[in-house]
Amino acid sequence: MAEWLAPAGSAGRLHFASLGSGSKGNATLVSDGETCLLVDCGFGLRETERRLARLGVHPRQLHAVLVTHEHGDHLRGVGPLARRHGVPVYLTPGTWLAGRLGEVPSQHWITPQAPFAVRGIRVQPVTVPHDAREPVQFRFTAGARSLGVLTDLGHGTEHVTRAFAGCDALVLECNHDVQMLAEGPYPPRLKRRVGGNWGHLANAQAASLLPRLGLDRLQRIVCSHLSEHNNRAERVRDALIPLLDGDDSRLLVAAQAEGVGWQRIE
């Protein structure tokens, strides 16, 4: 494996970045300056390599890919990336049994709610309500700081609230605006799925969940998984900025094409 060259000034601190987020592909990088993890890989192999390079990462510098669930916008590139570059893959048995990954060189089972470590980064996999076989999201801890990656859930349960409370940074799903979904082009069945308790988090739901997770510690809130048909960045900001007393300096939106560059948790 090639040596991981972390962003300048990152030693001993949690950093994270988004390769892109939305219905066409999702992937998030997490690093403590020595270990580099990729959460999901919903892009094709060449596109993943290109997006990693934009963030200064070679695939062989990845120490693991952690998979949240089996939907294509999160899993599509995991198998090709792992086979081409020998990256270990961590996933739940349910995600594996969905049969969409294929053989990979190194596979590790995740047990929901059972913490594990990848080198110096501690990982807490958390069960979430989503229409997949055995979906999880992740809370990462290094030193005294923690990052929550929380997307693809239909609603914020008490279990989710307890698991992600007190994070220092959060990648949070803001998938749709309720009005835009209702008036948008999706057929009724898909609207019910997206807006249901096992679908995706609406802007208003994210705004309701954030105070329960605790706003005081949050240095960065990265709004993710925006629907290209049923949401707009300005609607997300309108929903969340009032929670921050009008200060949007902590709020970022992960675009499908550009993602978000490296963010440091102080």
Lowest mean pLDDT across 1-5, 27-31, 74-78, 171-175: 1-5
In this predicted model, what pLDDT tens digit does every residue of 109-165 receive, in sequence order?
Answer: 999 999 999 999 999 999 999 999 999 999 999 999 999 999 999 999 999 999 999
3-state SS string over 114-157? CCEEECCEEEEEEECCCCCCCCEEEEEEECCEEEEEECCCCCCC
Query: Is 248 a residue whose pLDDT tops 80?
Result: yes
Query: Is 61 a residue whose pLDDT tops 90?
Result: yes
Higher pLDDT, 11 or 100: 100
What are the backbone dihedrals phi and psi of residue 173, each rounded to the nearest 5 degrees, phi first? -70, 130
Q: What is the structure's pLDDT at 245? A: 86
Taking the CB of residue 186, how many other CB atoms lie within 10 A of it?
Answer: 18
Share of the chain above pLDDT 90, in %: 94
In this predicted model, what pLDDT tens digit does every residue of 73-110 receive, in sequence order?
Answer: 999 999 999 999 999 999 999 999 999 999 999 999 99
Query: In which element (H, E) is residue 213 found?
Result: helix 203-213
The amino acid at 149: V
The mean of the pLDDT values for the chain is 95
Lowest mean pLDDT across 3-17, 123-137, 238-252: 3-17
Taking the CB of residue 133, how many other CB atoms lie within 10 A of it?
Answer: 16
Q: What is the distance between the alpha carbons of residues 122 and 159, in angstroms, rounded to a whole number? A: 19
Q: What is the structure's pLDDT at 177? A: 98
